[in-house]
Chain A
Amino acid sequence: MKAAIASTFRGASAPLSWYYAIAVAVPILNGAPLDRPFLEHVAFVLVVPPVVVTLAGLFRGLRR
């Protein structure tokens, strides 16, 4: 199971990088105010994708 999750994370490096770049890095570089609503948005963006990858890895592991 661990191997399936690790492999899914390796395969998800491109979508993770692009999503973090567009949803977090670009707004910060554009001067988005680092207020509470934006920081909450950043927290969601940072946390949800790894959860999705982990669930996809678990699904792959169970199918094997």
Chain B
Amino acid sequence: MSGRRAAVLAVMALAMFALKRHYSTAEVEDLRWILWPTSTLVALVSGSAFEFERGAGYLSREHFFVIEKSCAGLNFMIAALGMIGFRLSRDAGRARPGAWIVAQSVAQSVALSYAAAVLVNTLRILVAIWLSSADLPSGWWTAPRVHRLEGIAVYFGALMVLNQMARAT
């Protein structure tokens, strides 16, 4: 393993650790850097207003839906950061000498994982709002279970698409 690749992987691991630590201790107010763009996009696409409620998150009174801390998509962003960073670190290892390639790989990974987290979370929330009005839950399939199934399918499907995009570039 080249020194440059090791450097990219080390910085990426530190970034993932810092994000996870931030997420575990953050209040919803501390997560506005990711919740605000997500709620703005959801509001734009759905045409419903989302207002920030202290201690709760972004609330849609129309849909009776709250984009709260657990809806932030941070775990998806961390997984995407690791996956993209690991892929880009290979290119950094093969590239011509230059310390800038390490910074470039890290910056690209962080930017891509953040953009992906906002977009994918927007999609997940839009589908969740639609599902909540579709009256699907019945028997064992309660509303939280349907919500969980949808979240895992959307997040994991998006990781697969991101992986394909990273491999293609």
Contact = CB atoms under 8 A, between A and B. Distances in A.
A53 B148 contact: no
The 5 closest A-B pairs by CB, nearest first: A15-B159, A22-B79, A48-B152, A18-B79, A49-B156
Interface residues of B, number: 24
Given A48-B156, A52-B156, A52-B157, A15 B83 contact: yes
Given A19-B155, A22-B75, A52-B157, 10 more contacts: A14-B86, A15-B160, A15-B163, A18-B79, A21-B82, A23-B152, A44-B149, A45-B152, A48-B153, A52-B160
Contacts of A56: 157, 160
Contacts of B82: 18, 21-22
B78 interface: yes
Contact of B163 (A12, A30, A41): A12
The main secondary structure of chain A at its interface with chain B is helix
Contacts of A44: 145, 148-149, 152
A1 interface: no
Contacts of A14: 83, 86-87, 163
A45 B153 CA distance: 9
